[in-house]
A and B are shown apart, each in its own frame.
Chain A
Amino acid sequence: MNTRPLETADNPAGLRRIAIDPLSRVEGHGKVTLLLDDDNRVRQARLHIVEFRGFEKFIEGRPYWEVPVMVQRLCGICPVSHHLAASKALDRVAGGWPVPPAAEHIRRLMHYGQIVQSHALHFFHLASPDLLFGFDAGVDQRNIVGVAAAFPDAARQGILLRKFGQEVIRITSGKRIHGTGSIPGGMNRAVDPAERDALRAELPQVLAWAQDAVTLARRLHENLPTRYADFADTPAAMMSLVGHDGAMELYDGVLRLRESDGRIAVDGFDDQRYRELIDEAVRPWTYMKFPYRRSLGVDDGWYRVGPLARVQNCDFIPTPNAEAARQAFVAAHGGRPVHAVLATHWARMVELLHGVETVAALLDDPLITGGPLQAEGPRQRSGIGIIEAPRGTLIHEYEVGDDDLVTRCNLIVSTTHNNQAMNEAVRTVALRYLDGETITEGLLNHIEVAIRAYDPCLSCATHALGQMPLAVSLRAADGRVLDHVLRSSTGELLRDGQAHDAEAAQ
């Protein structure tokens, strides 16, 4: 494939390398490398994911009923998303799709609790220090402890909003983190009425806090210094699930793709056929793959997922206060598509409000306290489960043998969909704010701010299918390349004595 502008410098030799390693206030391990020339002009900028976990491989050979619990260990922040995406895929394998209404409603409750806790965690704990204190503020202040000291009410509300979401997860899965509620074909538990009532009692306060969070996110966005008005503005197509009626839908729906100019490109697309819509490419300098739209190819087919995409991709949000907040978001931008990544925080809080409203409605639903919880039907050899995780579209796909063991697994995680979009954001920020400047910690934080807006979960995102490309160079003390081996994405080994250009930026 061709590389994007600034992805690979024409001649990396002699360029000065700056690394932001590790990226802070994101989940998982990643780094950014910049190559600068003598005039501090940016010649190359890359977001690298430096860990490899390989869940797709070690799920192979495991019994399928273990998988919805096992895959939760991908992540400590959004385990419920993996739990439910795997369950939805394996519902089909077990012949239990659709699950009974009671099981679906309890799963939805768990999922929206997850949206609330994850969005609260990200906005208040991880992102708000940048927004409240400024991108250039001292590192001693730019953290949740600094927020708690300077804005104690906001910090407290953020923590309690997250706690509420975690309690919703606990009463539906048995634990706040890594529970077992969802099983192939349904659920293993209903909601205890006493625990439901305890959460219901908190709802008026939690709804008010969620509404305040939208107001705070909007205020922070609209009060950004003028120089950040177009911060990391990276036009991209937008993909998400939506309901059959175009509503925002986070648990189960059809795929919609919208072009960056707002036109709908694909709508009502059956999630079980996602492979006809997107494919994945690899590059040798990162463990994270690059999904792309098949119709546009590797170079032009990248897109964005997550709150900024979802809030603009749906026709409406099916809860009143969040819908009003969505309309305000759209109106504030003149009805034009929004691609400035800092607007993601505002969109994320609109979704948090939607999450709380949906939890409120489900807690009033008598179905969650009982009724048939498991469905049975004819077995299938494979299944696909797609869900809108807090960070975006999450795809789980499994093939299972007649002996009940998983034979193949593919995971396309929200952060992976955003890989190219995040790299583009890094380059946009590098050119706009760092190019030709004397690099300071505050300027480097601008790059992290752009990445952080995507709320990337880097440990979730590195689960390659098949061979990862790999470049290895052996250098003498004076820097001469003594040997160089490149393993291609097909597993072929090439030895050329020349450092691959990708290696220069590792």
Chain B
Amino acid sequence: MSAVDPTFDLDGQPIALQPGDTILTAAARAGHEVPHLCWSAEVSASASCRLCTVLADGRPVAACVTPAVAGQKVECRTALLATQRLRLLQMLFVEGNHFCPGCEKSGHCLLQVQAERAGMTDLNFEVLNPERPVDASHPDVLFEPNRCILCQLCVRASEEIDGKRVFAIGGHGIATRLVIDSASGRLGDSALSVDDRAAHICPVGALLPKRVGFAVPIGRRRFDTGDTRG
């Protein structure tokens, strides 16, 4: 960092800025993770999960869409924000059916690792146990809506990378769901290909290439660390 580089303050650390930076991207480049679920460098930001909420000069903003401003004081790791993130994660868990022990995404799952990093040890809220039928109609891709957290990454990947618009968000409130662009509403009748980026970008286990399952051994999964219990 040169003396003339503009910076902002993230939890007491100076973070260098580049043109077009959001708080999240500038922090990530400097090696600081702002917790997130719905953000990916591959697609546009949507600010839908709100896990990346930080305080910018005392005002809560989504770090993934808020431009970084030189001289700004940004707080990410406060006790209040940690509690808010924990509650948000707990709500995501109880709204769906997330059973990590039997889930092939375990060890690769962003929701799981964020919950672990947030220190989540219980659900706090009453579970809703929604009934969401699995859509296995596609020959090569499984849609497991019980695990969908409505992050919209597949929506954006299909539109921005694959040029297809296979997915969209439909419904309102607690009935909000991922909808599929096909006459039957089923994945097998859609234009999705297993080679599409949308079939692989899901941060949880909702959209998965079929017949892969537990092919990656424990110890070599995306979020395995030396502390992964064996």
Contact = CB atoms under 8 A, between A and B. Distances in A.
Q: Do A and B bind each other?
A: yes
A94 interface: yes
Interface in A174-232: 174-176, 178-181, 183-184, 188-189
Nearest to B212: A65
A32 to B, nearest CB: 32
Given A63-B142, A403-B136, A404-B211, A174 B217 contact: yes
- The winner among B101, B211, B212 for most chain A CB atoms within 10 A is B211
Given A94-B211, A404-B211, A66 B102 contact: yes
A405 B143 CA distance: 12
Contact of A180 (B133, B137, B211, B214): B214
Classify the interface of chain B: helix, strand, loop or mixed. loop
A255 interface: no
A174 B213 contact: no
Interface string A36-66: 0000000000000000000000000111011
Nearest to A175: B230
A63 B217 contact: no
A246 B214 CA distance: 35
A73 B102 contact: yes
Contacts, number: 66
A468 to B, nearest CB: 23
A70 interface: yes
B214 A176 contact: no
A184 B211 CA distance: 9
Contacts of B217: 174, 180-181, 188-189
B219 interface: yes
Nearest to B102: A70
A405 B188 CA distance: 14
Contacts of A405: 134, 136
A170 interface: yes
Contacts of A181: 217
Contacts of A188: 214-217
Contacts of A180: 214, 217-218
A70 B137 CA distance: 22
Contacts of B196: none
Nearest to A189: B217
A69 interface: yes
B210 A179 contact: no
B99 to A, nearest CB: 8
A174 B230 CA distance: 6
A184 B213 CA distance: 9
B108 to A, nearest CB: 12
A66 B210 contact: no
B104 interface: yes
B230 A170 contact: yes
Given A170-B230, A183-B215, A63 B101 contact: no
A175 to B, nearest CB: 5
Nearest to A192: B219
Nearest to A178: B101
A66 B104 contact: yes
Contacts of A183: 213-215
A69 B212 CA distance: 13
A349 to B, nearest CB: 28
Contacts of A66: 102-104, 213
Given A73-B102, A405-B136, A65 B213 contact: yes
B136 A69 contact: no
A69 B229 CA distance: 16
A69 B102 contact: yes
A184 B214 CA distance: 9
Contacts of A63: 134, 136, 142, 210, 213
Interface in B77-98: none
Nearest to A67: B102
Given A404-B136, A404-B210, A174 B219 contact: yes
B182 to A, nearest CB: 15
A404 B142 contact: yes
B218 A174 contact: yes
A453 to B, nearest CB: 31
B218 A175 contact: yes
Contacts of B229: 175
A180 B101 CA distance: 10
Given A62-B134, A69-B214, A188-B217, 11 more contacts: A61-B133, A66-B102, A69-B102, A69-B104, A94-B211, A170-B230, A179-B218, A181-B217, A189-B218, A403-B136, A405-B134
Interface of A: 61-63, 65-66, 68-70, 73, 94, 170, 173-176, 178-181, 183-184, 188-189, 403-405
27 contacts: A62-B102, A63-B142, A63-B210, A63-B213, A65-B214, A69-B101, A69-B102, A69-B213, A70-B102, A173-B218, A174-B217, A174-B219, A179-B230, A180-B214, A180-B217, A188-B214, A188-B216, A188-B217, A189-B218, A189-B219, A403-B136, A404-B136, A404-B142, A404-B210, A404-B211, A405-B134, A405-B136
